[in-house]
Chain A
């Protein structure tokens, strides 16, 4: 019975891993398949080995799109982290329960709204306030505002539970020790919130990189997301998939190796 239980456990893990990785594995293999003269990828026939997908991934256009994505991701994450942190801190300080309820409802509205509605609403707002975007300008700042609007509710959602558990007495102890207000805030609340700040950073970067709809509707900015969805599926997209797959495997292997060494060391002791 115990052996069967053990087997079932491992079998379940293997099945889950297969479900996760089989599609990515095929994407990785076919990223090396030669495309037709017109760049069409075939998934049913092996036309020959090529590095073309990886060469295209590092073309000037893709590098430019990647840099735009990075800049959009980092700037929007920074703004989202600042706004989310200030918001959850003010909610923590807020004693009124009704204001907390209003916060929950109001941030959830933008969470459940489809991106396309946020995008169109923002485009209308930008047209009325900043004028119609010219075909000769990028509108990067519009994309940035769009990303902040899209990601901010997630930032608040991530930071809120941690912030609510912050112990007021730590704050008071710092005052007692003679620290000024701002320094106290950084030394206590900010340090306490660091884990959820880093998680918000991660989520913000992923959401920003993944976005296609809001960037396309509000601006002319070209990002990895907009490139992925423009025209036909390109072989370089498979190259991204296989690079991610290899990275995940390497990182997991490193973590596994490190933790198993730690277990060995502990056992030796």
Chain B
């Protein structure tokens, strides 16, 4: 017994120092890799090992997480949403992309769809508003453009979806009125008694402007944000018959995947939700989420005024230009390959001898096949529209989830960090009232 005890006291330090030495050796053989951030479920997982050859890959849920990561030097780059990026540009936290060196392209905008270019151009007027030469961030005397700072990956807008199986045979009739209030009223009348919303204070608050005469206004300021939240609450109250704070009817979730998942889930009480069109398309093909929910069960309604967004890759200004070019080249096969190709070039690359298409041959197409969000480049957008939607799965409906028209581009005006916090606090307060 005594020997056993003595052996234990010898064994503990041996194991302890053995583990420590293993850790030291492992860390010295595998040095630290800088981190890139991306929204969760925003890249085909098959690509993650490729990214992790040179970088650490981190997924995040809320827009502000990425801004914080760039602000605190925790990320060298990543994917974020347009209206969140202007603040980072004006504070010189992200740098211009050297398209010439990284991709051999002088003007990348010629490859973008008209929708994407319209969306990106909207943000030009918010850059360096207070600098000596208006619009000149880097002080070279030339007015800078928003598109110089971002490699657009996805374009999306927000839509309503509902689970038709949970509504019985009730078919909603909108009478050509696709205002938020009417959509909510008709779907509620049709049987949607529990709603799920993404807890995105800015994106939800702008809906409130529909209550005002004179059109949809996506600008939130210190003077109008409380009013917009009020108006959003009124829309939800009038539409669903319940307040936004009534969590038995209106459930606000931080994670958009939870919103999507619960709407499809046959056992969930949630029957309708408000989310991105890309998530809606994913929900339309519901069988991978729930094997017992057939494709087409999820129906979509596009509001007349739906805010639109471009999500794109940006690079932290904390790294040198050479490192930036190296980063973009390393990630080319994952995110960007295909972004700067025409529809014909894509077709040549991916069409096999037997006329079938190999979607894995081009990185960005492979990603689309997984993510289902609408791509930003003209070539990809047109190629997917022509070739992706199979005849068996109601292609007309699936395409309606995917398509975003130029007239549907309604960007949200940038909101600075301070106002973001105020909106978030006020929105949270309303949810508790």
Interface centre among A37, A38, A134, A231 (most CB of B within 10 A): A38
A41 nearest CB neighbor, chain B only: B261
CB-CB under 8 A from B261, the residues of chain A are 36, 40, 42
A48 within 8 A of B: yes
Q: Is the CB of A38 within 8 A of B282?
A: yes
Please tell me which one of the listed residues B52, B268, B282, B318 contacts residue A61 in the complex, with CB atoms under 8 A apart. B52
CB distance from A124 to the nearest CB of B (A): 12
CB-CB under 8 A from A68, the residues of chain B are 23, 27
Q: Is the CB of B76 within 8 A of A40?
A: no
Q: Is the CB of B35 within 8 A of A74?
A: no
Give how many B residues have a beta carbon under 8 Å from the other chain's beta carbons: 50
CB distance from B267 to the nearest CB of A (A): 5
Please, how many angstroms separate the alpha-carbon atoms of A137 and B75 in the complex? Answer: 10
B316 within 8 A of A: yes
Please, how many angstroms separate the alpha-carbon atoms of A37 and B289 in the complex? Answer: 7
Q: Is the CB of B265 within 8 A of A232?
A: no
Interface of A is mostly: loop
CB distance from B289 to the nearest CB of A (A): 4
Q: Is the CB of B56 within 8 A of A222?
A: yes
Q: Is the CB of A138 within 8 A of B19?
A: no
B255 within 8 A of A: yes
Q: Is the CB of A232 within 8 A of B282?
A: no
Please tell me which one of the listed residues B32, B60, B73, B76 contacts residue A230 in the complex, with CB atoms under 8 A apart. B60
Known A60-B52, A74-B16, A78-B20: A39·B41 in contact at CB below 8 Å: yes
Q: Is the CB of B59 within 8 A of A47?
A: no
Please tell me which one of the listed residues A64, A134, A232 contacts residue B257 in the complex, with CB atoms under 8 A apart. A232
B369 nearest CB neighbor, chain A only: A37
Known A222-B56, A230-B59: A70·B292 in contact at CB below 8 Å: no
Known A36-B261, A132-B73: A42·B32 in contact at CB below 8 Å: no
Known A136-B319, A230-B58, A232-B40: A42·B290 in contact at CB below 8 Å: yes
Q: Is the CB of A47 within 8 A of B45?
A: no
Known A135-B34, A230-B59: A47·B24 in contact at CB below 8 Å: no
Known A42-B265, A48-B291, A231-B59: A70·B22 in contact at CB below 8 Å: yes
A203 within 8 A of B: no
A194 within 8 A of B: yes
Interface of B is mostly: mixed
Please, how many angstroms separate the alpha-carbon atoms of A42 and B49 in the complex? Answer: 25
CB-CB under 8 A from A42, the residues of chain B are 261, 265, 289-290
A213 within 8 A of B: no
CB-CB under 8 A from A135, the residues of chain B are 34-35, 73-76, 316, 318-319
Contact with A along B30-56 (1 / 0, CB 8 A): 101011000011000100110010001
CB-CB under 8 A from A136, the residues of chain B are 34, 76, 318-319, 323
Please, how many angstroms separate the alpha-carbon atoms of A38 and B371 in the complex? Answer: 8
Residues of chain A from 177 to 221 with CB closer than 8 A to chain B in the complex? 194, 198, 201, 220
Q: Give 18 pairs: A residue, B residue, CB < 8 Å, sorted on A.
A: A38-B41, A38-B257, A40-B41, A40-B257, A42-B290, A44-B267, A45-B265, A45-B292, A61-B52, A67-B26, A71-B20, A78-B16, A135-B35, A135-B316, A140-B27, A140-B32, A198-B12, A231-B60
10 new A-B pairs (CB below 8 Å) besides A64-B30, A67-B30, A132-B73? Answer: A38-B282, A38-B370, A45-B265, A61-B57, A70-B20, A135-B35, A135-B75, A135-B76, A136-B319, A232-B59
